[in-house]
C-alpha cells in the first residue's frame, strides 16, 4: 500500500512565501495572545499555589461550588470543571499556600461538606507547592530546557553544516512559540508535565528536520550539477512518505491519549498534539526551503 | 554472513530471556526458591498511579537554635543567682545570640571563667563597659551552630521515620533532601490529614505550674507577671465543630519535658473515654516526684505544642513515674497522640513546602485510562503497520512488542517507578519506535523501485537508514537525558521510559527485524519481499 506516490513532485520550495505568511499569522496570533495574557500562564508547579480536585457524587453546578467557597474569602480562587461533562468533578486552584499542618484543602473540604453533606464528595487530589519550591522547580525547568536545546544544537552542528542547524533551530523556535500560543489561547497553565511535552515536541521537530536534512546532504553529494532548489524539492518529496507515516502513527497514539488518557494527562496530550502537527508542517514547509533563503543571503562559491 | 546471523540470533535470545526473568515477578506469583535465586524486583507504580502522599518538609533549624539559646538563658540565670552575680538582664536577641548585662565590673573575670568552663559552645561577639554596666553579646560558635542544625534535621528524620513505622505504611520513602529538607512518600495512604498530623506535629510535651496567685484577667489585659506566660487550651466540640479557648496563666519555667518518656499508651476510663497514660524513666520519675511534692495543691499544666491539654490539681506527691493526659479525645486522636509521644518530639518544628496527594480512586482511574489508551493507540499503530507494509509490517510489530517488554523489564531492573507521564512516554515510544522501521522500509521500497533484488534492497535500505535513525534518536535522547537530570517526580518517570524506549527501539528496529529478514532471505531464499 502506498499513501504517497513515489514519484510525487510537489514544489515545496515554490510555496515558501505562502508557508511563511501562514506561519507569520500563527506566530503573531500566538504572540498577541501571550502579550494580552501577560506572558505564559504558569501552573502551581512554577508559581506556587494550591490545587484541590473534588468529585461530587451528586450533580452539583459550578456556581454552587463557587458560592459555597465564597465565605472562605480566598484571593485568586478559581473553580473549573474537570474531565468529562457528566463527571461532576471540579478543579479548585488558588495562589495562596500555607506551610501550616492544617492545610487549605481541609478548609475547602469542610466548606463544601457543610454545604453539600459529609459523604457527598471525595477529595481526589491535593497539590500544594510553596513559593520556595515553585521557584526551585522553575529554575530546574529552565535548566532542563536550556541544556537540552544547547545539547541538540551542538549535536546538529557537529553532524551537519551550520546552515542545516540554523534551519532546524528556527523551526524549533517556530514550533515552540506556536504551541505556547495554543496553550495561552486555550487558557491552559504551564506545569511540569507541559514542559516535558514541549521538550518532546522539540525533540520530535528536530528529529523530523534532521531526516530531511540527511537526505538533502546525501543528494547534494550525488547530484553536484543540479540546482539547490531542485535538490531540496526532490529530497522533501522522497522523504514525504516517511514524514507523513511517522507523524500519522505518533498522532494515532497521542489522539488515543488525548481522548482516553483521562483528565490528569489531558493538557499534556494537547500540547503534544499541537506541537507534533506544527512540527511536521514546519519541517516540510519551513526548514528545508529556508536553505534556499540562506543560500541567497550567503551564496557559496562552489555551487550555482 | 551465516556466522554473524547465528551470533545475532543468540544475542536476541539472550536479551529476550533476561527480559522475561525481570518481568516474571511483576506478572506471576512466583515460588520462594525462584525469588531467592533470580531477580525479584517488581515494576513499582508511582504515587500518581497507586495513590498516596508526597510531602516535602522544611525543618525550621532556626527554631532549634533559639530553643538552645533559651535554655542557655535560663541556665545563666540559675548560675548567676547561685553565684550571687548581680545582673540587669539576660535575654535572647534574634535567633542565635544572647545579651548579658552585669551590674558590677568586678564580676567580669568570674563571668569569663564560667563561660570558659561551662559553656564551651558560646563565643563572645561584642563587649562594652559603660557606667559600671558590663554588656556582652554572646553567640553560638559556628561549629556548634552547624552541629545543632544538622542534629535538628537528622533527629527529625529519625523521629518521623519512627512515627511512620508506628503508623503502619507499607514501603514508605523518608529521606533527607538538601540541607534542611525531608522528603516523605507514603504510598496508598487513605487519610492524608491524619498522616500529616502525625508526621508534622512537633509533639513537645511540657509540664508547667499554673500561676493561681495572680489574676488571669489582669494578665489578659497585658500585665503579665514576670516569669509567666499565657497559653490556651483549645477544645473542639465534636458535634458542632465549635472551638472554645480557655486561657491559662503559667509559670514560664518548664519543669519536665517528654524527653524522659518511656511509654505512652491509650487507656479508657470508667465512662469509656480514652486517655493517654505515660510513664517516665527513672530520672524523669524522680523529677516528677520532686515537682509534685513541692507543688501540692497547685495545678500542674500538661502542655503539648503550646496547647494546654489539662491542668489537674496536685493532691499529693506522685511517685512511680506515671501520669495521664486527658483531653476529650476520640479513640483515634488518643492513639495518634500516643504514637507521637512514643516516637519523641521533633527537635525543631517543620513546615510543609510541598504536598501532593492522589486519592486511590484517581490513581486507579489513571491506570485504567492509561492502559486503555495504550491498548487502543497501540492497536491502531499495529493495524496500520500491517496494512501498509504487509508481512514486513508484522515483523515491525513483533519488534514493537519486544520493545514494550524491554521497557517494562528495565523499569523493574532499575527499580524505576512507572508514573502517568511514564505511561505517556511508553505510548510516545510506540509512535517513535515504528519510525525506525518506517525509515528502513521506505528506503527499501525506494531501492526495490530502482530494480534491485530483495537481498540488495534490504541491505542498502538498512545501511542507508541507519545513520538517519541514529541522528534522529540521539537528538531526542539528548532532550530526554536533560529531562531526567532536572526533572522531578512524574516528569522523571516520563524521561525514564522515553530513554529506555529509544534505546530499546534502536536494538529492536535495527538488529531484531534485520535478523528476521536475513533469515528469510538466506535460509528460505524468498524471491519477493512483502513490503
| A192 lies within 8 A of chain B by CB | yes
pLDDT of A301 over the 70 cut:
no
| A268 lies within 8 A of chain B by CB | yes
B472 CB neighbours in chain A (<8 A) are: 207, 210-211
d(C-alpha A136, C-alpha B52), whole Å: 23
* Lowest-pLDDT range of A90-104, A171-185, A195-209: A90-104
Q: What domains can be seen in chain B, in order of their start residue? A: 2-45+360-522 (1.20.1640.10), 52-200 (3.30.70.3400), 202-344 (3.30.1360.200)
pLDDT of B284 over the 70 cut:
yes
Which residue among B380, B390, B475 places its CB closest to the CB of A152?
B475
Inter-chain residue contact A124 with B359, CB threshold 8 Å: yes
Higher pLDDT, A253 or A73: A253
B202 CB neighbours in chain A (<8 A) are: none
d(C-alpha A302, C-alpha A158), whole Å: 22
d(C-alpha B395, C-alpha B397), whole Å: 5
Q: What is the DSSP secondary structure assignment for residue B510, as one 8-state letter? A: I
Q: B454 near B84, Cβ under 8 Å?
A: no
Query: Which residues of chain A form CATH 3.30.70.3400?
Result: 49-129
pLDDT of B228 over the 80 cut:
yes
- Strands (DSSP E) along B426-519, which ranges? none
What pLDDT score does A304 carry?
41
| CA-closest candidate to residue B90, choices B80, B79, B101, B82 | B101
Q: A196 near A275, Cβ under 8 Å?
A: no
Residue of B nearest to A191 (CA): B491
> To which residue does cell 520519675 refer?
B285
- Cα A126–A132–A134 angle (5° rounding)? 55
Which residue among B374, B442, B471 places its CB closest to the CB of A241?
B442
Residue of A nearest to B368 (CA): A261
B472 φψ region: left (φ > 0), alpha (ψ -120 to 50), beta (else)? alpha
What pLDDT score does A58 carry?
86
CA dihedral B477, B425, A284, A22 (to 10 degrees): -120
CATH for A49-129 is 3.30.70.3400
Residue B495's CB: how many other CB atoms inside 10 A?
27
B487 CB neighbours in chain A (<8 A) are: 140, 144, 192, 196
- What's the count of helices (H) and strands (E) in chain A, helices before strands? 10, 4
Inter-chain residue contact B486 with A196, CB threshold 8 Å: no
B418 φψ region: left (φ > 0), alpha (ψ -120 to 50), beta (else)? beta
B495 CB neighbours in chain A (<8 A) are: 196
Inter-chain residue contact A128 with B355, CB threshold 8 Å: yes
Q: Work out the burial of residue A235: count CB atoms within 10 Å of its CB; fewer than 13 is exposed, 13-18 middle, 19 or more buried.
A: buried
Mean pLDDT within B33-41? 78
Phi, psi of B246 (to 5 degrees): -125, 125
Q: Is B321 helix (H, G, I), strand (E, B) or coil?
A: coil
> To which residue does cell 558560646 refer?
B122
Which cell numbers in the block locate residue A249? 502513527
Residue of A nearest to B483 (CA): A144
What pLDDT score does B366 carry?
87
Parallel, antiparallel, or unpaired: how do β-strands A89-94 and A78-81 relate? antiparallel
pLDDT tens column, A195-242: 888 888 888 888 888 888 889 888 988 888 888 889 999 999 999 999
What pLDDT score does B182 carry?
94
Task: Name the pLDDT band for A303 (thresholds 50, 70, 90).
Answer: very low
Residue B384's CB: how many other CB atoms inside 10 A?
18
pLDDT tens column, A1-33: 777 777 788 888 888 889 999 999 999 999 999
What pLDDT score does A300 carry?
64
> To which residue does cell 522547580 refer?
A137
Q: Which of residues 22-81 of A touch B (CB under 8 A)?
A: 53, 55
Inter-chain residue contact A257 with B424, CB threshold 8 Å: yes
Which residue among A123, A130, A195 places its CB closest to the CB of B354?
A130
Q: A87 near A55, Cβ under 8 Å?
A: yes
Q: B491 near A195, Cβ under 8 Å?
A: yes
d(C-alpha B167, C-alpha B143), whole Å: 36
Please report how the helices B61-83 and B142-167 are oriented relative to each other, as an axis angle in degrees rounded to 10: 120
CATH of A13-43+133-297, one of 1.20.1640.10, 1.10.760.10, 2.102.10.10, 3.40.50.300: 1.20.1640.10
| CA-closest candidate to residue A74, choices A54, A96, A90 | A96
CA distances from B372 to A82, B256, B402, B417, B424 (A): 19, 60, 19, 19, 12
pLDDT of A187 over the 60 cut:
yes
A250 CB neighbours in chain B (<8 A) are: 428, 431-432, 435
Q: What is the DSSP secondary structure assignment for residue B325, as one 8-state letter? A: E
What pLDDT score does B389 carry?
92
pLDDT tens column, B292-310: 998 999 999 999 888 898 8
Nearest chain A Cα distance for residue B418, angstroms? 14
d(C-alpha A257, C-alpha A260), whole Å: 5
Interface predicted TM-score of the whole assembly (ipTM), two decimals: 0.86
Helix (H) or strand (E) holding A185: helix A162-185
What pLDDT score does B238 carry?
66
Average pLDDT, chain B: 87
Mean pLDDT within B89-109? 86
d(C-alpha A159, C-alpha A147), whole Å: 18
Residue of A nearest to B473 (CA): A207
Residue B483's CB: how many other CB atoms inside 10 A?
29
d(C-alpha B24, C-alpha B412), whole Å: 10
Inter-chain residue contact B380 with A99, CB threshold 8 Å: no
Q: A96 near A50, Cβ under 8 Å?
A: yes
Q: Work out the burial of residue B13: count CB atoms within 10 Å of its CB; fewer than 13 is exposed, 13-18 middle, 19 or more buried.
A: exposed
Mutate to test the interface with B, among A50, A105, A169, A249 (most CBs of B within 10 A): A249
Nearest chain A Cα distance for residue B220, angstroms? 26
CA dihedral B171, B174, B175, B176 (to 10 degrees): 180
Phi, psi of B523 (to 5 degrees): -80, -45
Q: B475 near B431, Cβ under 8 Å?
A: no
d(C-alpha B393, C-alpha B386), whole Å: 4
d(C-alpha B396, C-alpha A243), whole Å: 17
What pLDDT score does A102 carry?
67
The strand pairing partners of A129, in sequence order, are: A49, B354
B361 CB neighbours in chain A (<8 A) are: 55, 122, 124
pLDDT tens column, B418-462: 888 888 888 778 877 888 999 999 999 999 998 888 889 999 999
Inter-chain residue contact A140 with B372, CB threshold 8 Å: no
Inter-chain residue contact B388 with A1, CB threshold 8 Å: yes
Residue of A nearest to B489 (CA): A192
Q: What is the DSSP secondary structure assignment for residue A40, as one 8-state letter? A: P
Q: Is B58 helix (H, G, I), strand (E, B) or coil?
A: strand
Give A98-144 as a DSSP string. Answer: --SSS-HHHHHHHHHHHHH-TTSEEEEEEEEE-HHHHHHHHHHHHHH
Nearest chain A Cα distance for residue B355, angstroms? 5
Higher pLDDT, B487 or A59: A59
pLDDT tens column, B44-65: 888 888 889 999 999 999 988 9
Residue of A nearest to B447 (CA): A6
Nearest chain B Cα distance for residue A270, angstroms? 12
Q: B396 near B434, Cβ under 8 Å?
A: yes
Inter-chain residue contact A246 with B373, CB threshold 8 Å: no
Inter-chain residue contact A103 with B353, CB threshold 8 Å: no
Inter-chain residue contact A253 with B359, CB threshold 8 Å: no
Inter-chain residue contact A207 with B472, CB threshold 8 Å: yes
| A100 lies within 8 A of chain B by CB | yes
Mutate to test the interface with B, among A235, A245, A270 (most CBs of B within 10 A): A245
A83 φψ region: left (φ > 0), alpha (ψ -120 to 50), beta (else)? left
Higher pLDDT, B381 or B130: B381
Q: B68 near B152, Cβ under 8 Å?
A: no
The strand pairing partners of B187, in sequence order, are: B52
Q: A130 near B353, Cβ under 8 Å?
A: yes
Q: B269 near B257, Cβ under 8 Å?
A: no
Residue of A nearest to B393 (CA): A1
Nearest chain A Cα distance for residue B309, angstroms? 19
Which residue among A3, A130, A210 places its CB closest to the CB of B353?
A130
d(C-alpha B404, C-alpha B382), whole Å: 13
Mutate to test the interface with A, among B52, B349, B435 (most CBs of A within 10 A): B435
Residue of B nearest to A260 (CA): B373
Residue of A nearest to B360 (CA): A124
Query: What is the widest separation between alpha-carbon atoms in chain A?
Result: 81
> To which residue does cell 540470533 refer?
B9
What pLDDT score does A114 carry?
84
CA distances from A216 to B127, B409, B476 (A): 79, 39, 21
pLDDT of A101 over the 70 cut:
no
B188 φψ region: left (φ > 0), alpha (ψ -120 to 50), beta (else)? left
pLDDT tens column, B141-164: 999 999 999 999 999 999 999 999
- Cα B302–B192–A72 angle (5° rounding)? 85
Residue of A nearest to B391 (CA): A1
Q: B255 near B291, Cβ under 8 Å?
A: yes
Query: Which residues of chain A form CATH 1.20.1640.10?
Result: 13-43+133-297
Residue of A nearest to B199 (CA): A101
Amino acid at each position: 500500500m502506498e499513501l504517497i506516490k513515489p514519484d510525487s513532485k510537489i514544489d515545496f520550495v515554490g510555496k515558501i512565501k505562502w508557508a511563511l505568511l501562514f506561519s507569520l499569522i500563527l506566530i503573531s496570533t500566538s504572540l498577541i495572545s501571550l502579550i494580552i495574557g501577560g506572558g505564559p500562564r504558569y501552573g502551581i508547579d512554577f508559581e506556587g499555589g494550591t490545587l484541590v480536585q473534588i468529585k461530587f457524587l451528586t450533580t452539583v453546578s459550578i456556581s454552587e461550588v463557587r458560592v459555597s467557597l465564597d465565605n472562605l474569602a480566598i484571593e485568586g480562587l478559581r473553580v473549573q470543571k474537570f474531565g468529562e461533562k457528566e463527571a461532576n468533578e471540579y478543579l479548585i486552584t488558588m495562589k495562596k499556600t500555607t506551610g501550616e499542618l492544617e492545610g487549605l484543602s481541609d478548609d475547602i473540604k469542610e466548606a463544601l461538606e457543610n454545604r453539600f453533606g459529609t459523604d457527598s464528595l471525595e477529595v481526589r487530589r491535593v497539590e500544594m507547592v510553596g513559593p520556595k519550591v515553585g521557584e526551585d522547580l522553575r529554575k530546574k525547568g529552565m535548566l532542563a530546557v536550556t541544556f537540552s536545546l544547547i545539547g541538540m544544537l551542538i549535536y546538529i552542528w557537529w553532524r551537519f553544516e551550520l546552515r542545516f542547524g540554523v534551519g532546524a533551530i528556527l523551526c524549533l523556535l517556530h514550533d515552540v512559540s506556536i504551541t505556547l500560543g495554543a496553550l495561552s489561547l486555550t487558557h491552559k497553565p504551564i506545569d511540569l508535565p507541559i514542559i516535558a511535552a514541549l521538550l518532546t515536541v522539540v525533540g520530535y521537530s528536530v528529529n523530523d528536520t534532521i531526516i530531511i536534512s540527511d537526505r538533502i546532504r546525501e543528494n547534494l553529494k550525488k547530484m553536484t550539477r543540479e540546482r539547490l532548489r531542485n535538490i531540496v524539492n526532490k529530497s522533501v518529496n522522497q522523504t514525504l512518505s516517511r514524514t507523513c507515516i511517522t507523524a500519522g502513527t505518533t498522532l494515532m497514539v497521542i489522539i488515543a491519549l488525548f481522548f482516553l488518557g483521562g483528565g490528569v494527562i489531558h493538557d499534556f496530550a494537547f500540547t503534544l498534539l499541537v506541537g507534533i502537527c506544527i512540527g511536521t508542517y514546519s519541517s516540510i514547509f519551513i526548514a528545508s526551503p529556508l536553505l534556499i533563503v540562506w543560500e541567497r543571503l550567503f551564496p557559496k562559491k562552489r555551487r550555482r | 554472513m551465516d556466522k554473524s546471523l547465528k551470533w545475532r540470533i543468540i544475542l536476541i535470545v539472550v536479551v529476550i530471556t533476561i527480559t522475561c526473568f525481570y518481568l516474571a515477578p511483576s506478572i506471576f506469583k512466583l515460588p520462594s526458591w525462584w525469588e531467592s535465586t533470580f531477580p525479584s524486583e517488581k515494576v513499582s507504580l508511582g504515587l500518581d498511579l497507586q495513590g498516596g502522599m508526597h510531602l516535602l518538609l522544611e525543618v525550621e533549624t532556626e527554631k532549634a537554635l533559639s530553643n538552645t539559646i533559651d535554655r542557655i538563658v535560663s541556665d545563666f540565670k540559675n548560675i548567676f543567682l547561685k553565684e550571687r552575680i548581680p545582673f540587669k538582664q539576660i535575654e535572647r536577641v534574634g535567633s542565635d545570640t544572647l545579651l548579658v548585662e552585669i551590674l558590677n565590673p568586678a564580676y567580669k573575670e568570674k563571668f569569663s571563667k564560667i563561660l570558659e568552663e561551662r559553656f564551651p559552645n558560646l563565643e563572645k561577639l561584642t563587649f562594652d563597659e559603660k557606667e559600671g554596666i558590663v554588656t556582652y553579646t554572646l553567640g553560638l560558635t559556628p561549629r556548634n551552630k552547624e552541629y545543632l542544625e544538622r542534629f535538628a534535621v537528622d533527629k527529625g528524620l529519625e523521629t518521623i521515620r519512627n512515627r511512620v513505622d508506628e503508623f503502619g505504611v507499607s514501603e514508605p520513602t523518608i529521606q533527607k533532601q538538601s540541607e534542611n529538607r525531608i522528603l516523605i512518600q507514603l504510598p496508598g495512604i487513605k487519610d492524608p490529614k491524619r498522616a500529616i498530623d502525625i508526621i508534622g506535629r512537633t509533639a513537645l510535651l511540657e509540664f508547667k505550674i499554673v500561676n493561681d496567685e495572680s489574676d488571669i484577667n489582669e494578665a489578659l489585659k497585658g500585665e503579665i507577671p514576670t516569669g509567666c506566660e499565657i497559653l490556651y487550651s483549645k477544645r473542639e466540640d465534636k458535634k458542632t465543630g465549635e472551638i472554645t479557648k480557655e486561657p491559662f496563666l503559667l509559670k514560664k519555667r518548664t519543669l519536665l519535658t517528654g524527653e524522659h518518656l518511656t511509654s505512652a499508651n491509650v487507656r479508657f476510663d470508667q465512662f469509656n473515654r480514652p486517655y493517654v497514660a505515660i510513664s517516665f524513666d527513672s530520672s524523669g520519675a524522680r523529677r516528677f516526684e520532686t515537682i509534685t511534692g513541692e507543688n501540692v495543691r497547685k495545678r500542674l499544666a500538661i502542655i503539648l505544642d503550646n496547647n494546654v491539654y489539662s491542668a489537674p490539681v496536685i493532691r499529693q506527691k506522685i511517685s512511680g513515674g506515671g501520669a495521664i493526659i486527658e483531653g476529650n479525645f476520640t479513640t483515634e486522636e488518643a492513639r495518634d497522640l500516643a504514637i507521637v509521644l512514643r516516637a519523641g518530639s521533633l527537635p525543631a518544628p517543620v513546615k510543609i513546602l510541598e504536598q501532593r496527594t492522589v486519592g486511590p480512586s484517581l490513581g486507579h482511574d489513571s491506570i485504567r485510562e492509561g492502559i486503555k489508551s495504550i491498548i487502543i493507540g497501540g492497536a491502531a499503530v499495529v493495524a496500520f503497520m500491517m496494512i501498509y507494509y504487509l508481512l514486513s509490517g508484522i515483523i515491525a510489530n513483533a519488534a514493537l512488542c519486544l520493545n514494550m517488554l524491554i521497557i517494562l523489564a528495565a523499569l523493574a531492573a532499575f527499580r524505576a517507578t512507572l508514573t502517568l507521564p511514564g505511561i505517556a512516554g511508553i505510548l510516545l515510544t510506540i509512535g517513535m519506535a515504528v519510525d525506525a522501521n518506517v525509515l528502513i522500509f521506505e528506503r527499501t521500497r525506494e531501492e526495490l523501485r530502482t530494480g534491485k533484488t530483495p537481498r540488495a534492497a534490504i541491505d542498502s535500505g538498512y545501511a542507508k537508514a541507519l545513520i538517519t535513525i541514529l541522528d534522529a534518536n540521539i537528538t531526542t535522547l539528548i532532550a530526554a537525558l536533560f529531562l531526567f537530570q532536572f526533572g522531578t517526580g512524574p516528569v522523571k518517570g516520563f524521561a525514564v521510559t522515553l530513554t529506555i524506549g529509544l534505546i530499546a527501539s534502536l536494538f529492536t528496529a535495527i538488529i531484531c527485524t534485520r535478523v528476521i529478514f536475513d533469515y528469510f532471505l538466506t535460509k528460505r531464499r524468498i524471491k519477493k519481499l512483502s513490503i
